[in-house]
A and B are shown apart, each in its own frame.
Chain A
Protein backbone atom coordinates (compact mmCIF):
# COMPACT_ATOMS: atom_id res chain seq x y z
CA UNK A 1 0.00 0.00 0.00
CA UNK A 2 1.30 3.43 -0.90
CA UNK A 3 1.82 5.49 2.25
CA UNK A 4 0.40 8.99 1.99
CA UNK A 5 3.34 11.24 2.75
CA UNK A 6 1.38 14.42 3.12
CA UNK A 7 -0.24 14.56 6.59
CA UNK A 8 -2.78 17.21 5.56
CA UNK A 9 -3.88 15.16 2.56
CA UNK A 10 -4.21 12.05 4.69
CA UNK A 11 -6.20 13.89 7.37
CA UNK A 12 -8.43 15.65 4.84
CA UNK A 13 -9.28 12.41 3.05
CA UNK A 14 -10.08 10.74 6.35
CA UNK A 15 -12.32 13.60 7.43
CA UNK A 16 -13.95 13.92 4.02
CA UNK A 17 -14.99 10.30 3.83
CA UNK A 18 -16.31 10.29 7.38
CA UNK A 19 -18.78 12.94 6.37
CA UNK A 20 -22.14 11.94 4.94
CA UNK A 21 -22.04 15.09 2.79
CA UNK A 22 -19.31 13.58 0.61
CA UNK A 23 -21.38 10.52 -0.19
CA UNK A 24 -24.54 12.51 -0.72
CA UNK A 25 -22.67 14.76 -3.17
CA UNK A 26 -21.57 11.70 -5.17
CA UNK A 27 -25.17 10.44 -5.20
CA UNK A 28 -26.40 13.87 -6.33
CA UNK A 29 -23.75 14.00 -9.06
CA UNK A 30 -24.57 10.54 -10.38
CA UNK A 31 -28.31 11.13 -10.20
CA UNK A 32 -27.92 14.34 -12.22
CA UNK A 33 -25.95 12.52 -14.90
CA UNK A 34 -28.48 9.72 -14.90
CA UNK A 35 -31.44 12.06 -15.19
CA UNK A 36 -29.88 13.81 -18.21
CA UNK A 37 -28.90 10.53 -19.88
CA UNK A 38 -32.25 8.80 -19.36
CA UNK A 39 -34.05 12.06 -20.24
CA UNK A 40 -32.11 12.25 -23.49
CA UNK A 41 -33.06 8.70 -24.47
CA UNK A 42 -36.70 9.32 -23.62
CA UNK A 43 -36.81 12.53 -25.67
CA UNK A 44 -35.02 10.97 -28.64
CA UNK A 45 -37.32 7.96 -28.62
CA UNK A 46 -40.45 10.09 -28.12
CA UNK A 47 -40.88 8.56 -24.66
CA UNK A 48 -41.48 5.12 -26.20
CA UNK A 49 -38.21 3.58 -25.08
CA UNK A 50 -37.69 2.20 -28.58
CA UNK A 51 -35.90 3.81 -31.48
CA UNK A 52 -32.63 4.36 -33.25
CA UNK A 53 -29.73 6.55 -32.12
CA UNK A 54 -27.15 7.22 -34.81
CA UNK A 55 -23.61 8.58 -34.44
CA UNK A 56 -24.75 12.17 -35.06
CA UNK A 57 -27.31 12.00 -32.29
CA UNK A 58 -24.72 10.29 -30.12
CA UNK A 59 -22.42 13.32 -30.48
CA UNK A 60 -25.26 15.44 -29.14
CA UNK A 61 -25.56 13.06 -26.16
CA UNK A 62 -21.80 13.23 -25.62
CA UNK A 63 -21.87 17.03 -25.79
CA UNK A 64 -24.72 17.18 -23.32
CA UNK A 65 -23.04 14.83 -20.85
CA UNK A 66 -19.73 16.69 -21.16
CA UNK A 67 -21.36 20.05 -20.47
CA UNK A 68 -23.41 18.67 -17.57
CA UNK A 69 -20.23 17.26 -16.02
CA UNK A 70 -18.28 20.45 -16.72
CA UNK A 71 -21.03 22.52 -15.12
CA UNK A 72 -21.13 20.28 -12.06
CA UNK A 73 -17.36 20.54 -11.73
CA UNK A 74 -17.49 24.32 -12.15
CA UNK A 75 -20.12 24.61 -9.42
CA UNK A 76 -18.69 22.08 -6.99
CA UNK A 77 -15.01 23.09 -7.10
CA UNK A 78 -15.38 26.53 -5.46
CA UNK A 79 -17.57 25.00 -2.75
CA UNK A 80 -14.96 22.36 -2.00
CA UNK A 81 -11.88 24.55 -2.07
CA UNK A 82 -12.81 28.08 -1.02
CA UNK A 83 -13.18 26.99 2.59
CA UNK A 84 -10.06 24.83 2.73
CA UNK A 85 -7.91 27.28 4.68
CA UNK A 86 -10.50 29.76 5.96
CA UNK A 87 -12.51 27.00 7.66
CA UNK A 88 -9.39 25.94 9.55
CA UNK A 89 -8.96 29.59 10.51
CA UNK A 90 -12.57 29.91 11.62
CA UNK A 91 -12.41 26.68 13.60
CA UNK A 92 -9.17 27.89 15.21
CA UNK A 93 -7.16 24.92 14.01
CA UNK A 94 -5.02 26.82 11.51
CA UNK A 95 -2.67 28.39 14.08
CA UNK A 96 -1.83 24.98 15.46
CA UNK A 97 -1.26 23.61 11.97
CA UNK A 98 1.03 26.52 11.12
CA UNK A 99 3.26 25.91 14.13
CA UNK A 100 4.10 22.39 12.94
CA UNK A 101 7.13 21.57 10.82
CA UNK A 102 5.11 21.24 7.64
CA UNK A 103 6.16 23.67 4.95
CA UNK A 104 3.61 26.14 3.63
CA UNK A 105 3.67 24.30 0.31
CA UNK A 106 2.91 20.95 2.00
CA UNK A 107 -0.15 22.46 3.66
CA UNK A 108 -1.41 24.11 0.46
CA UNK A 109 -0.64 21.03 -1.62
CA UNK A 110 -2.39 18.76 0.88
CA UNK A 111 -5.49 20.93 0.84
CA UNK A 112 -5.48 21.17 -2.95
CA UNK A 113 -4.92 17.49 -3.64
CA UNK A 114 -7.58 16.37 -1.17
CA UNK A 115 -10.19 18.54 -2.92
CA UNK A 116 -8.99 17.53 -6.37
CA UNK A 117 -8.93 13.85 -5.55
CA UNK A 118 -12.54 14.06 -4.38
CA UNK A 119 -13.56 15.82 -7.60
CA UNK A 120 -11.64 13.25 -9.63
CA UNK A 121 -13.53 10.56 -7.78
CA UNK A 122 -16.77 12.24 -8.91
CA UNK A 123 -15.59 12.24 -12.53
CA UNK A 124 -14.47 8.64 -12.20
CA UNK A 125 -17.78 7.62 -10.63
CA UNK A 126 -19.61 9.27 -13.53
CA UNK A 127 -17.58 7.43 -16.19
CA UNK A 128 -19.77 4.30 -16.33
CA UNK A 129 -22.75 6.55 -17.12
CA UNK A 130 -20.97 8.81 -19.58
CA UNK A 131 -19.32 5.87 -21.36
CA UNK A 132 -22.79 4.96 -22.65
CA UNK A 133 -21.75 7.09 -25.65
CA UNK A 134 -19.49 4.24 -26.81
CA UNK A 135 -22.59 2.16 -27.54
CA UNK A 136 -23.80 4.33 -30.41
CA UNK A 137 -20.64 5.24 -32.35
CA UNK A 138 -19.36 8.61 -33.52
CA UNK A 139 -17.21 9.17 -30.41
CA UNK A 140 -13.68 7.92 -30.23
CA UNK A 141 -11.94 7.03 -26.95
CA UNK A 142 -9.51 9.88 -27.63
CA UNK A 143 -12.42 12.39 -27.76
CA UNK A 144 -13.61 10.96 -24.47
CA UNK A 145 -10.17 11.18 -22.82
CA UNK A 146 -9.53 14.65 -24.22
CA UNK A 147 -12.71 16.15 -22.78
CA UNK A 148 -11.89 14.65 -19.39
CA UNK A 149 -8.33 15.99 -19.61
CA UNK A 150 -9.56 19.54 -20.29
CA UNK A 151 -12.09 19.22 -17.50
CA UNK A 152 -9.30 18.25 -15.11
CA UNK A 153 -7.22 21.28 -16.19
CA UNK A 154 -10.16 23.59 -15.41
CA UNK A 155 -10.84 21.75 -12.18
CA UNK A 156 -7.25 22.14 -10.94
CA UNK A 157 -7.14 25.83 -11.93
CA UNK A 158 -10.44 26.60 -10.24
CA UNK A 159 -9.40 24.61 -7.16
CA UNK A 160 -6.19 26.68 -7.00
CA UNK A 161 -8.20 29.90 -7.22
CA UNK A 162 -10.43 28.61 -4.40
CA UNK A 163 -7.41 27.74 -2.25
CA UNK A 164 -5.91 31.18 -2.89
CA UNK A 165 -9.12 32.98 -1.95
CA UNK A 166 -9.41 30.82 1.14
CA UNK A 167 -5.87 31.79 2.13
CA UNK A 168 -6.24 35.51 1.47
CA UNK A 169 -9.80 36.02 2.72
CA UNK A 170 -10.50 35.33 6.38
CA UNK A 171 -14.17 34.44 6.10
CA UNK A 172 -15.21 31.28 4.25
CA UNK A 173 -18.45 32.75 2.98
CA UNK A 174 -16.64 35.73 1.42
CA UNK A 175 -13.93 33.46 -0.03
CA UNK A 176 -16.63 31.25 -1.51
CA UNK A 177 -18.59 34.13 -3.02
CA UNK A 178 -15.37 35.53 -4.52
CA UNK A 179 -14.42 32.16 -6.02
CA UNK A 180 -17.91 31.68 -7.47
CA UNK A 181 -17.63 35.23 -8.82
CA UNK A 182 -14.37 34.37 -10.58
CA UNK A 183 -15.90 31.16 -11.93
CA UNK A 184 -18.86 33.12 -13.30
CA UNK A 185 -16.48 35.68 -14.78
CA UNK A 186 -14.60 32.93 -16.60
CA UNK A 187 -17.72 31.24 -17.92
CA UNK A 188 -20.25 34.03 -18.44
CA UNK A 189 -18.42 37.34 -18.54
CA UNK A 190 -15.74 36.13 -20.94
CA UNK A 191 -18.48 34.95 -23.34
CA UNK A 192 -20.03 38.42 -23.05
CA UNK A 193 -16.62 40.01 -23.68
CA UNK A 194 -16.25 37.87 -26.81
CA UNK A 195 -19.49 39.33 -28.07
CA UNK A 196 -18.51 42.90 -27.08
CA UNK A 197 -15.00 42.79 -28.53
CA UNK A 198 -16.26 41.24 -31.76
CA UNK A 199 -18.93 43.96 -32.03
CA UNK A 200 -16.41 46.74 -31.44
CA UNK A 201 -14.34 45.53 -34.36
CA UNK A 202 -17.28 45.21 -36.68
CA UNK A 203 -18.75 48.15 -38.55
CA UNK A 204 -22.31 49.36 -37.95
CA UNK A 205 -23.31 47.92 -41.31
CA UNK A 206 -21.96 44.54 -40.26
CA UNK A 207 -18.83 44.82 -42.38
CA UNK A 208 -15.58 43.46 -40.98
CA UNK A 209 -13.07 46.11 -39.97
CA UNK A 210 -10.33 43.61 -40.64
CA UNK A 211 -7.16 42.75 -38.75
CA UNK A 212 -6.54 40.39 -35.89
CA UNK A 213 -8.86 40.35 -32.91
CA UNK A 214 -6.59 39.18 -30.06
CA UNK A 215 -9.02 40.15 -27.28
CA UNK A 216 -11.91 38.23 -28.81
CA UNK A 217 -9.59 35.29 -29.38
CA UNK A 218 -8.28 35.43 -25.81
CA UNK A 219 -11.75 35.51 -24.23
CA UNK A 220 -12.85 32.62 -26.45
CA UNK A 221 -9.79 30.60 -25.50
CA UNK A 222 -10.16 31.07 -21.74
CA UNK A 223 -13.90 30.46 -21.67
CA UNK A 224 -14.24 26.84 -20.54
CA UNK A 225 -17.58 26.33 -22.29
CA UNK A 226 -16.51 27.76 -25.66
CA UNK A 227 -13.26 25.86 -25.47
CA UNK A 228 -15.00 22.60 -24.61
CA UNK A 229 -17.34 23.12 -27.57
CA UNK A 230 -14.30 23.59 -29.79
CA UNK A 231 -12.85 20.31 -28.50
CA UNK A 232 -16.00 18.35 -29.35
CA UNK A 233 -16.73 20.23 -32.58
CA UNK A 234 -13.44 21.12 -34.37
CA UNK A 235 -15.42 23.43 -36.69
CA UNK A 236 -16.07 25.74 -33.69
CA UNK A 237 -12.34 26.08 -33.23
CA UNK A 238 -11.82 26.74 -36.95
CA UNK A 239 -14.55 29.41 -37.02
CA UNK A 240 -13.06 31.07 -33.94
CA UNK A 241 -9.68 31.31 -35.61
CA UNK A 242 -11.24 32.58 -38.84
CA UNK A 243 -13.34 35.25 -37.13
CA UNK A 244 -10.44 36.49 -35.00
CA UNK A 245 -7.81 36.11 -37.76
CA UNK A 246 -5.54 34.30 -35.28
CA UNK A 247 -3.35 31.26 -35.97
CA UNK A 248 -2.64 29.90 -32.52
CA UNK A 249 -4.94 26.96 -31.70
CA UNK A 250 -7.41 27.75 -28.93
CA UNK A 251 -6.25 24.85 -26.78
CA UNK A 252 -2.68 26.21 -26.59
CA UNK A 253 -3.86 29.52 -25.12
CA UNK A 254 -6.43 27.73 -22.98
CA UNK A 255 -3.93 25.35 -21.39
CA UNK A 256 -1.24 28.04 -21.02
CA UNK A 257 -3.67 30.43 -19.34
CA UNK A 258 -4.96 27.90 -16.82
CA UNK A 259 -1.53 26.49 -16.07
CA UNK A 260 -0.25 30.02 -15.38
CA UNK A 261 -3.31 30.75 -13.20
CA UNK A 262 -2.76 27.52 -11.27
CA UNK A 263 0.93 28.15 -10.66
CA UNK A 264 0.36 31.78 -9.74
CA UNK A 265 -2.48 31.05 -7.33
CA UNK A 266 -0.60 28.26 -5.56
CA UNK A 267 2.55 30.37 -5.35
CA UNK A 268 0.71 33.35 -3.83
CA UNK A 269 -1.22 31.07 -1.45
CA UNK A 270 2.00 29.39 -0.31
CA UNK A 271 3.64 32.79 0.26
CA UNK A 272 0.67 34.11 2.23
CA UNK A 273 -0.45 31.27 4.44
CA UNK A 274 2.24 32.12 6.99
CA UNK A 275 3.45 35.55 8.03
CA UNK A 276 6.79 36.70 6.77
CA UNK A 277 8.91 36.71 9.91
CA UNK A 278 11.84 38.55 8.32
Chain B
Protein backbone atom coordinates (compact mmCIF):
# COMPACT_ATOMS: atom_id res chain seq x y z
CA UNK B 1 0.00 0.00 0.00
CA UNK B 2 1.24 3.48 -0.85
CA UNK B 3 0.14 6.51 1.14
CA UNK B 4 1.28 9.92 0.03
CA UNK B 5 0.59 12.70 2.50
CA UNK B 6 0.96 16.36 1.63
CA UNK B 7 4.04 15.83 -0.52
CA UNK B 8 5.54 19.12 -1.60
CA UNK B 9 8.65 19.77 -3.66
CA UNK B 10 9.89 23.12 -4.89
CA UNK B 11 12.75 23.98 -7.23
CA UNK B 12 13.37 27.62 -6.42
CA UNK B 13 10.08 29.36 -7.10
CA UNK B 14 8.77 26.49 -9.24
CA UNK B 15 6.41 24.23 -7.33
CA UNK B 16 6.85 20.73 -8.75
CA UNK B 17 4.56 19.08 -6.20
CA UNK B 18 1.93 20.95 -4.26
CA UNK B 19 0.67 19.09 -1.17
CA UNK B 20 0.01 15.89 -3.05
CA UNK B 21 -2.23 13.38 -1.26
CA UNK B 22 -2.80 9.94 -2.68
CA UNK B 23 -3.50 6.40 -1.51
CA UNK B 24 -2.90 3.33 -3.63
CA UNK B 25 -4.12 0.07 -2.11
CA UNK B 26 -2.21 -3.19 -2.28
CA UNK B 27 -2.54 -5.12 -5.52
CA UNK B 28 -3.83 -2.10 -7.41
CA UNK B 29 -2.33 -0.99 -10.71
CA UNK B 30 -2.35 2.77 -10.55
CA UNK B 31 -1.76 4.90 -13.62
CA UNK B 32 -0.26 8.30 -13.06
CA UNK B 33 -1.20 10.65 -15.84
CA UNK B 34 0.02 14.15 -16.46
CA UNK B 35 1.62 16.42 -18.99
CA UNK B 36 5.39 16.84 -19.12
CA UNK B 37 6.55 18.72 -16.02
CA UNK B 38 3.32 18.01 -14.16
CA UNK B 39 5.16 16.30 -11.31
CA UNK B 40 4.97 12.59 -12.12
CA UNK B 41 8.70 11.88 -12.20
CA UNK B 42 9.26 14.07 -9.13
CA UNK B 43 6.70 12.00 -7.22
CA UNK B 44 8.29 8.77 -8.36
CA UNK B 45 11.81 9.98 -7.50
CA UNK B 46 10.65 10.89 -3.99
CA UNK B 47 8.97 7.50 -3.55
CA UNK B 48 12.19 5.83 -4.72
CA UNK B 49 14.10 7.83 -2.04
CA UNK B 50 16.15 9.63 -4.69
CA UNK B 51 14.75 13.05 -3.90
CA UNK B 52 13.87 14.55 -0.55
CA UNK B 53 10.50 16.30 -0.30
CA UNK B 54 10.31 19.79 1.19
CA UNK B 55 7.15 18.90 3.05
CA UNK B 56 5.01 15.85 3.64
CA UNK B 57 5.81 12.17 3.71
CA UNK B 58 4.98 8.96 1.94
CA UNK B 59 4.54 5.50 3.37
CA UNK B 60 5.26 2.32 1.46
CA UNK B 61 3.71 -0.60 3.30
CA UNK B 62 3.70 1.55 6.42
CA UNK B 63 7.38 2.52 6.13
CA UNK B 64 8.16 6.21 5.86
CA UNK B 65 10.39 7.30 3.02
CA UNK B 66 11.87 9.87 5.40
CA UNK B 67 12.49 7.75 8.46
CA UNK B 68 12.88 4.25 6.99
CA UNK B 69 14.37 4.92 3.57
CA UNK B 70 16.55 1.79 3.65
CA UNK B 71 13.52 -0.40 4.34
CA UNK B 72 11.52 1.41 1.66
CA UNK B 73 14.26 0.67 -0.90
CA UNK B 74 13.97 -3.03 -0.06
CA UNK B 75 10.21 -2.95 -0.69
CA UNK B 76 10.23 -1.22 -4.05
CA UNK B 77 11.36 -1.95 -7.56
CA UNK B 78 12.04 1.31 -9.37
CA UNK B 79 12.40 1.83 -13.07
CA UNK B 80 13.22 5.44 -14.01
CA UNK B 81 12.08 7.07 -17.23
CA UNK B 82 15.66 7.41 -18.45
CA UNK B 83 18.20 4.84 -17.43
CA UNK B 84 21.47 3.37 -18.52
CA UNK B 85 22.72 -0.18 -18.41
CA UNK B 86 26.15 -1.71 -17.96
CA UNK B 87 26.83 -2.58 -21.56
CA UNK B 88 29.74 -4.88 -20.87
CA UNK B 89 27.77 -7.16 -18.58
CA UNK B 90 25.75 -10.07 -19.87
CA UNK B 91 22.01 -10.08 -19.20
CA UNK B 92 22.22 -12.63 -16.37
CA UNK B 93 25.25 -10.86 -14.85
CA UNK B 94 23.29 -7.60 -14.90
CA UNK B 95 20.45 -9.23 -12.98
CA UNK B 96 22.90 -10.98 -10.66
CA UNK B 97 24.58 -7.69 -9.79
CA UNK B 98 21.34 -6.01 -8.78
CA UNK B 99 20.05 -9.06 -6.96
CA UNK B 100 23.24 -9.23 -4.91
CA UNK B 101 22.81 -5.50 -4.26
CA UNK B 102 19.64 -6.48 -2.43
CA UNK B 103 21.56 -9.02 -0.37
CA UNK B 104 20.14 -12.08 -2.10
CA UNK B 105 22.08 -15.32 -1.78
CA UNK B 106 23.72 -16.90 -4.83
CA UNK B 107 21.30 -19.82 -4.68
CA UNK B 108 18.26 -17.53 -4.66
CA UNK B 109 19.71 -15.42 -7.45
CA UNK B 110 20.24 -18.47 -9.67
CA UNK B 111 16.65 -19.57 -9.02
CA UNK B 112 15.18 -16.13 -9.68
CA UNK B 113 17.05 -15.26 -12.90
CA UNK B 114 15.27 -17.82 -15.16
CA UNK B 115 11.90 -16.83 -13.67
CA UNK B 116 12.20 -13.11 -14.34
CA UNK B 117 13.80 -13.63 -17.75
CA UNK B 118 10.89 -15.85 -18.71
CA UNK B 119 8.42 -13.27 -17.47
CA UNK B 120 9.95 -10.56 -19.64
CA UNK B 121 10.47 -12.98 -22.52
CA UNK B 122 14.26 -12.74 -22.59
CA UNK B 123 15.20 -16.31 -21.70
CA UNK B 124 17.13 -16.80 -24.93
CA UNK B 125 19.12 -13.61 -24.30
CA UNK B 126 20.48 -14.74 -20.93
CA UNK B 127 24.13 -14.90 -22.04
CA UNK B 128 24.00 -11.95 -24.44
CA UNK B 129 25.87 -8.77 -23.64
CA UNK B 130 23.47 -6.00 -22.65
CA UNK B 131 25.08 -3.86 -25.33
CA UNK B 132 23.80 -6.26 -28.00
CA UNK B 133 20.15 -6.03 -26.89
CA UNK B 134 17.60 -3.80 -28.64
CA UNK B 135 16.07 -0.81 -26.86
CA UNK B 136 12.89 -2.73 -26.11
CA UNK B 137 14.87 -5.66 -24.73
CA UNK B 138 16.89 -3.33 -22.51
CA UNK B 139 13.61 -1.87 -21.18
CA UNK B 140 12.35 -5.35 -20.40
CA UNK B 141 15.67 -6.31 -18.85
CA UNK B 142 15.45 -3.26 -16.63
CA UNK B 143 11.95 -4.31 -15.64
CA UNK B 144 13.29 -7.80 -14.91
CA UNK B 145 15.90 -6.16 -12.68
CA UNK B 146 13.19 -4.48 -10.62
CA UNK B 147 11.60 -7.90 -10.05
CA UNK B 148 14.71 -9.79 -8.94
CA UNK B 149 14.24 -9.14 -5.23
CA UNK B 150 10.49 -9.72 -5.50
CA UNK B 151 9.41 -6.26 -4.31
CA UNK B 152 5.90 -5.59 -3.13
CA UNK B 153 5.63 -2.29 -4.98
CA UNK B 154 6.75 -1.48 -8.51
CA UNK B 155 7.33 2.15 -9.46
CA UNK B 156 7.60 2.37 -13.23
CA UNK B 157 8.20 5.76 -14.74
CA UNK B 158 7.19 5.73 -18.40
CA UNK B 159 8.29 2.12 -18.98
CA UNK B 160 7.14 2.15 -22.60
CA UNK B 161 8.65 5.46 -23.63
CA UNK B 162 10.78 5.41 -26.76
CA UNK B 163 9.67 1.93 -27.77
CA UNK B 164 8.39 0.93 -31.17
CA UNK B 165 4.79 -0.37 -31.40
CA UNK B 166 5.83 -4.02 -31.18
CA UNK B 167 8.04 -3.42 -28.13
CA UNK B 168 5.18 -1.46 -26.52
CA UNK B 169 2.85 -4.41 -26.94
CA UNK B 170 5.48 -6.72 -25.43
CA UNK B 171 5.97 -4.36 -22.50
CA UNK B 172 2.22 -4.13 -21.98
CA UNK B 173 1.96 -7.94 -21.93
CA UNK B 174 4.66 -8.09 -19.24
CA UNK B 175 2.80 -5.53 -17.15
CA UNK B 176 -0.41 -7.52 -17.55
CA UNK B 177 1.45 -10.56 -16.23
CA UNK B 178 2.68 -8.57 -13.23
CA UNK B 179 -0.84 -7.38 -12.55
CA UNK B 180 -1.93 -11.01 -12.52
CA UNK B 181 0.58 -11.90 -9.81
CA UNK B 182 -0.85 -9.16 -7.59
CA UNK B 183 1.94 -6.60 -7.51
CA UNK B 184 1.09 -3.05 -6.49
CA UNK B 185 2.15 -1.06 -9.52
CA UNK B 186 2.49 2.66 -9.86
CA UNK B 187 2.98 3.48 -13.50
CA UNK B 188 3.17 6.65 -15.49
CA UNK B 189 2.80 6.85 -19.22
CA UNK B 190 1.90 9.07 -22.06
CA UNK B 191 0.41 6.10 -23.83
CA UNK B 192 -2.91 6.68 -22.17
CA UNK B 193 -5.06 4.08 -23.93
CA UNK B 194 -2.55 1.50 -22.74
CA UNK B 195 -2.97 2.72 -19.18
CA UNK B 196 -6.72 2.49 -19.57
CA UNK B 197 -6.39 -1.17 -20.46
CA UNK B 198 -4.20 -2.21 -17.58
CA UNK B 199 -4.87 0.20 -14.70
CA UNK B 200 -7.44 -0.27 -11.99
CA UNK B 201 -7.24 3.39 -11.04
CA UNK B 202 -5.74 6.52 -12.44
CA UNK B 203 -4.66 9.80 -10.96
CA UNK B 204 -4.29 12.90 -13.05
CA UNK B 205 -1.62 15.32 -11.93
CA UNK B 206 -1.34 18.85 -13.22
CA UNK B 207 1.06 21.53 -11.99
CA UNK B 208 1.95 19.39 -8.98
CA UNK B 209 -1.63 18.85 -7.88
CA UNK B 210 -3.77 15.76 -8.13
CA UNK B 211 -6.81 17.01 -10.00
CA UNK B 212 -8.64 13.74 -10.52
CA UNK B 213 -8.32 10.37 -8.89
CA UNK B 214 -10.34 7.19 -9.03
CA UNK B 215 -11.18 4.26 -11.23
CA UNK B 216 -11.17 4.95 -14.92
CA UNK B 217 -14.93 4.58 -15.42
CA UNK B 218 -15.63 7.08 -12.64
CA UNK B 219 -13.30 9.63 -14.14
CA UNK B 220 -14.74 9.12 -17.58
CA UNK B 221 -18.25 9.49 -16.11
CA UNK B 222 -17.18 12.62 -14.29
CA UNK B 223 -16.31 14.07 -17.66
CA UNK B 224 -19.17 12.58 -19.58
CA UNK B 225 -21.43 15.57 -18.95
CA UNK B 226 -19.60 17.22 -21.85
CA UNK B 227 -20.35 15.00 -24.80
CA UNK B 228 -19.59 15.05 -28.46
CA UNK B 229 -22.48 13.76 -30.57
CA UNK B 230 -22.34 12.78 -34.20
CA UNK B 231 -25.58 13.16 -36.16
CA UNK B 232 -25.53 11.74 -39.68
CA UNK B 233 -28.10 12.97 -42.20
CA UNK B 234 -29.50 11.31 -45.30
CA UNK B 235 -27.32 11.66 -48.34
CA UNK B 236 -28.17 14.83 -50.30
CA UNK B 237 -30.66 15.91 -47.57
CA UNK B 238 -30.93 19.59 -46.66
CA UNK B 239 -28.73 20.37 -43.66
CA UNK B 240 -30.09 23.86 -43.03
CA UNK B 241 -33.29 22.67 -41.32
CA UNK B 242 -31.31 20.46 -38.96
CA UNK B 243 -28.86 23.23 -38.25
CA UNK B 244 -31.74 25.61 -37.45
CA UNK B 245 -33.26 23.00 -35.14
CA UNK B 246 -29.96 22.66 -33.24
CA UNK B 247 -29.56 26.42 -33.00
CA UNK B 248 -33.05 26.64 -31.53
CA UNK B 249 -31.83 24.25 -28.84
CA UNK B 250 -28.76 26.49 -28.31
CA UNK B 251 -26.39 23.69 -29.33
CA UNK B 252 -23.10 24.36 -31.08
CA UNK B 253 -22.63 22.21 -34.16
CA UNK B 254 -20.18 21.85 -36.99
CA UNK B 255 -21.00 20.23 -40.26
CA UNK B 256 -18.75 18.20 -42.50
CA UNK B 257 -20.49 16.55 -45.44
CA UNK B 258 -23.62 14.98 -44.01
CA UNK B 259 -22.21 14.54 -40.49
CA UNK B 260 -22.94 17.11 -37.81
CA UNK B 261 -20.68 17.23 -34.76
CA UNK B 262 -22.58 18.60 -31.77
CA UNK B 263 -21.21 19.69 -28.37
CA UNK B 264 -23.84 18.49 -25.94
CA UNK B 265 -24.04 19.14 -22.22
CA UNK B 266 -26.45 16.63 -20.75
CA UNK B 267 -27.04 13.06 -19.64
CA UNK B 268 -28.49 10.11 -21.56
CA UNK B 269 -32.07 11.22 -20.84
CA UNK B 270 -31.38 14.60 -22.42
CA UNK B 271 -29.79 12.86 -25.43
CA UNK B 272 -32.90 10.70 -25.81
CA UNK B 273 -35.18 13.80 -25.63
CA UNK B 274 -33.13 15.59 -28.30
CA UNK B 275 -33.27 12.63 -30.68
CA UNK B 276 -36.99 12.11 -30.06
CA UNK B 277 -37.78 15.75 -30.85
CA UNK B 278 -35.59 15.72 -33.96
CA UNK B 279 -37.39 12.64 -35.29
CA UNK B 280 -40.78 14.14 -34.45
CA UNK B 281 -39.81 17.11 -36.65
CA UNK B 282 -38.99 14.63 -39.40
CA UNK B 283 -35.38 15.65 -39.69
CA UNK B 284 -33.46 13.37 -42.16
CA UNK B 285 -31.43 11.57 -39.50
CA UNK B 286 -29.90 8.19 -40.29
CA UNK B 287 -27.32 8.06 -37.52
CA UNK B 288 -27.03 9.40 -34.00
CA UNK B 289 -24.10 8.42 -31.76
CA UNK B 290 -22.00 9.67 -28.91
CA UNK B 291 -18.29 9.86 -29.55
CA UNK B 292 -16.70 7.48 -27.08
CA UNK B 293 -13.98 9.07 -24.97
CA UNK B 294 -10.83 7.15 -24.30
CA UNK B 295 -8.30 8.03 -21.64
CA UNK B 296 -6.51 10.34 -24.04
CA UNK B 297 -9.64 12.50 -24.26
CA UNK B 298 -10.09 12.33 -20.50
CA UNK B 299 -6.53 13.47 -20.02
CA UNK B 300 -6.83 16.28 -22.54
CA UNK B 301 -10.10 17.42 -21.02
CA UNK B 302 -8.77 17.46 -17.47
CA UNK B 303 -5.50 19.14 -18.27
CA UNK B 304 -7.22 21.38 -20.82
CA UNK B 305 -4.85 20.28 -23.53
CA UNK B 306 -1.71 21.56 -21.82
CA UNK B 307 1.38 19.63 -22.78
Which residues of A approach B to under 8 Å, CB–CB? 3, 7-8, 10-11, 14-15, 18-19, 91-93, 95-103, 274-278
In the A-B complex, the 10 residue pairs with the closest CB atoms: A100-B101, A91-B84, A92-B84, A7-B100, A93-B84, A99-B78, A275-B52, A7-B101, A277-B69, A101-B102
Bound state CA distance, A122 and B291, in angstroms?
A: 72
With A10-B97, A274-B49 as known contacts, state yes or no: A92 contacts B70, CB within 8 Å. no
With A92-B83, A92-B84, A277-B66 as known contacts, state yes or no: A101 contacts B74, CB within 8 Å. yes
Interface flag for B37 (CB, 8 Å): no
Contact residues, B77-92 vs A (CB, 8 A): 78, 80, 82-86, 88-89
The smallest C-beta distance from A234 to any residue of chain B, in angstroms, reads 48
The smallest C-beta distance from B65 to any residue of chain A, in angstroms, reads 6
Q: Which of A10, A19, A276, A277 contacts B100 (CB 8 A)?
A: A10
Bound state CA distance, A96 and B45, in angstroms?
A: 11
Q: Which of A11, A92, A102, A277 contacts B49 (CB 8 A)?
A: A277
Whether B89 contacts A11 by the Cβ 8 Å rule is: yes
Q: Which of A15, A96, A99, A100 contacts B88 (CB 8 A)?
A: A15
Bound state CA distance, A101 and B100, in angstroms?
A: 9
Given A96-B83, A101-B74, 8 further pairs, Cβ under 8 A? A8-B101, A18-B88, A96-B78, A99-B50, A101-B149, A103-B70, A275-B50, A276-B52
Interface flag for B98 (CB, 8 Å): yes
Whether B97 contacts A101 by the Cβ 8 Å rule is: no
| Across-interface contacts of B93 in A (CB, < 8 A) | 14
Bound state CA distance, A95 and B49, in angstroms?
A: 10
Bound state CA distance, A93 and B130, in angstroms?
A: 13
Which secondary structure dominates chain B's binding surface? Answer: loop
Q: Which of A8, A100, A275 contacts B51 (CB 8 A)?
A: A275
| Across-interface contacts of A7 in B (CB, < 8 A) | 97, 100-101
Which residues of B approach A to under 8 Å, CB–CB? 45, 48-52, 65-67, 69-70, 73-74, 76, 78, 80, 82-86, 88-89, 93, 97-98, 100-103, 106, 142, 145, 149
Whether B76 contacts A99 by the Cβ 8 Å rule is: yes
Whether B86 contacts A15 by the Cβ 8 Å rule is: yes
The smallest C-beta distance from B74 to any residue of chain A, in angstroms, reads 5
Among A7, A99, A274, A278, the most chain B Cβ lie within 10 Å of the Cβ of A99
Q: Which of B67, B73, B78, B102 contacts A278 (CB 8 A)?
A: B67
Nearest to B65 among chain A residues (CB) is A277
Nearest to B46 among chain A residues (CB) is A277
Whether B80 contacts A96 by the Cβ 8 Å rule is: yes
Whether B78 contacts A101 by the Cβ 8 Å rule is: no
Whether B66 contacts A101 by the Cβ 8 Å rule is: no
| Across-interface contacts of B86 in A (CB, < 8 A) | 11, 15, 93
The smallest C-beta distance from B244 to any residue of chain A, in angstroms, reads 61
| Across-interface contacts of A18 in B (CB, < 8 A) | 88
Q: Which of B48, B83, B88, B103 contacts A93 (CB 8 A)?
A: B83
Bound state CA distance, A155 and B162, in angstroms?
A: 43
The smallest C-beta distance from B100 to any residue of chain A, in angstroms, reads 4
Whether B101 contacts A92 by the Cβ 8 Å rule is: no
Whether B145 contacts A96 by the Cβ 8 Å rule is: yes
Nearest to B145 among chain A residues (CB) is A96
* 30 residue pairs from A and B, CB less than 8 Å apart: A8-B101, A10-B100, A14-B88, A14-B93, A18-B88, A19-B88, A92-B80, A92-B83, A92-B84, A93-B85, A95-B78, A95-B80, A95-B83, A96-B83, A96-B98, A98-B50, A99-B49, A99-B73, A99-B78, A100-B102, A101-B70, A101-B102, A102-B101, A103-B70, A275-B49, A275-B50, A275-B52, A277-B69, A278-B66, A278-B67
